[in-house]
Amino acid sequence: MCTRIIYQTQSEKFITGRGMDWNDPTSKFAVIAMPRGYKQSGGNYPNALTWTSKYGSVFTSMYDAASSDGMNEAGLVANALYFAEADYGDYTKSDKPVISVGAWAQYFLDNFATVAEAVEAMREPAFIICAPLLANGRPATAHISLSDESGDSAILEYIDGELTIHHSNEYTVMTNSPTFDEQLAINKYWKLVGGNRMLPGTINAADRFVRVDYLLESTPKFEDGKMATAAAMSIMRSIGVPLGMEDPDHPNISATLWRSLGDHSNKTYYLESSRQPALFWVDLNKLDLSEGASIKGIVVDGPENQFGDVTNQLTPMDTITWM
C-alpha cells in the first residue's frame, strides 16, 4: 500500500508525493477540509483519546473512517502507509487513552506545525494505538511518515509493541514492508549496483523503494511552480502499479488507486485518481479553516470528474467517526 517521496525544488522548497496502492477498488475516498478548533475523539472506545485541532487541514479519507494522507495549514504533511509488521501492543492492557490507527495521521495534522514538534511529542506517546479489522479480516496496521516546509522528515513504526522513530531530512523515500531500517539496508546494496545499470523491477514494496529512490535522485530540481509539481507527479506516476494488478495475499502489493502531492510552501494539496483523467487540487489559502467553520469535502471517483482548482466546490460533509 503505497509509496512516498519528498521532492526538492530548485528554490529549495519541498513537495511530498504519495501513491495509494490498495486492494479494494470499491473503497470510498473523499478529500476533506477540517477546521481549527474541532473536537476530536480517537475512536469508539471507552477510553478514547480526545483533543481539539490546533490547525486546519485537508486530508484524504478512506471508508469514511480513516485519514490516510493530508496537509495542514502550517505545511505539515502526514501519510499513513500499510505496514504488515506493525505491532502496537495490547490496548486492553494499557491505562493510556486509545486512538484508532485511522485517526493517527489526523492527530499529527491537528496538533503539530513541524516534524520536530511531532517527534518530540512522540518520545513518550500520550496514547496507545488500536488497529481494527478491515472487511477482509486483516488488521488495519500502518506506519506514518511526516514531512514539513523545511524538508524535515520522520518515519514512525511500532514493532513488537515499541515505537521506533527515524528522523532525518535524508529520509526522502518510504514504502511498506519490510521495516524502514531494512528498506535502507536493501537500498544501500542497490546504490552500489548503480541504478543506471540495473534496478529491481517487481511491484513489491522493497523494489519500489529502490526504484523511486533512484528516480528521485535522478530527476532535476525544477523551479517552484508548475514544473516542480509536474516533476514530482511524474515520479509518482512512474512508480505506480497499473489498475487491476494485485496479490490477494499481500494488500501492500495492489493497484495504485490515487496519487497526492502536498506542496508545503504554497499550501496546495493535489490529488489524481487513477480512474479519472485529470489532476485536481485544493488551495488551503482559500479555505475557511477558522474555528466554527463547517467540515467540507468532495468525493473522489464520484459521479462527477474533478479537475483543476476545486477549492470552491467543496460542500458540507458529515463528521467522521474514526475506525
DSSP per residue, 98-156: EEEHHHHHHHHHHH-SSHHHHHHHTTS-SSEEE--B-TTS-B--EEEEEE-TT--EEEE
Helix-, strand-, coil-residue percentages of the chain, each rounded to 5:
20, 35, 45
What is the H or E stretch that residue 237 is in? helix 226-238
Active-site annotation holder among 2, 6, 118, 210: 2
Coil vs helix vs strand at 294: coil
The alpha-carbon radius of gyration of the chain (Å, integer) is: 18
Distance CA 229, CA 9 (A): 9
What are the strands, taking DSSP E only, across the chain? 3-8, 14-21, 29-34, 39-41, 50-52, 57-62, 66-72, 77-82, 98-100, 128-130, 142-147, 153-159, 162-167, 173-174, 256-263, 268-273, 279-283, 296-300, 308-309, 315-316
Q: Residue with C-alpha cell 486483516?
A: 138
Q: Is 2 a residue of the active site?
A: yes
Q: Could you tell me how many residues make up the chain?
A: 323
Catalytically active residues are 2
